[in-house]
Amino acid sequence: MTAPTFTPGPWRRVGHRTIAAGSGPDAVTVCEVFSGGVGVDQADANETLIEAAPELHAAAAEIFAWIDSGFLTVGVLADDNPARVAACGRAIDTLAAALGKASGAGLDAVTVCEVFSGGVGVDQADANEALIEAAPELYAVARAAEAMLIRQKWRPDPSSPEGALLLALRAVLAKVSEGGAS
């Protein structure tokens, strides 16, 4: 998996439909979200999802690393059940596809917002656009990862790496859900 080149998070809302990163003289506008053609409610949800994109990417990347390294095959997934092995394989494929899309693989035009290159350069703006385009898939992967961790009886506990990851997933999912994304 290649290192992401998008503008580091956290991203935040600054003004009407504007997403930015950094603060003070280091602040850069990442994008402006459009509401034309999609309606205000959907534009609000898009804005919330885009704001959470770096966190969704980080959560998905961590889950991918744990599955890919075999850490998540401990316990119920470690048995010889072919259905469970296939489910783990599908999870890896889904995560790899979402993370690949976030790194620019298969990039298509983003129509929900305008991405800015001022202050960050064209390459980083392209990476921001790829991350924004992948945000819905990253959100879906984060929801699936949360469900998988709960099925494996992980507890939301900040004192363990597993519990801290579950807490981080829940926090980013709540952040997106509060903004109306589904």
Of 35-39, 45-49, 96-100, the poorest mean pLDDT is in 96-100
Q: Please, which residues have CB within 8 angstroms of residue 64's CB and are 6 or more apart in sequence?
A: 1, 92, 95, 96, 99
What are the boundaries of each domain within the chain? 11-175
pLDDT of residue 83: 67
CA 41/CA 61 separation, integer angstroms: 29
Based on its alpha-carbon atoms, the radius of gyration of the chain, rounded to whole angstroms, reads: 17
Quickly state the pLDDT bin for 95 (edges 50, 70, 90): low
List the Cα angle 166/172/175 in 5-degree steps.
140
pLDDT digits (tens, 9 = 90+) for 96-150: 666 665 555 443 433 456 776 667 777 777 887 878 777 887 778 787 777 777 7
Q: Residue 49 in contact with residue 66, Cβ under 8 Å?
A: no
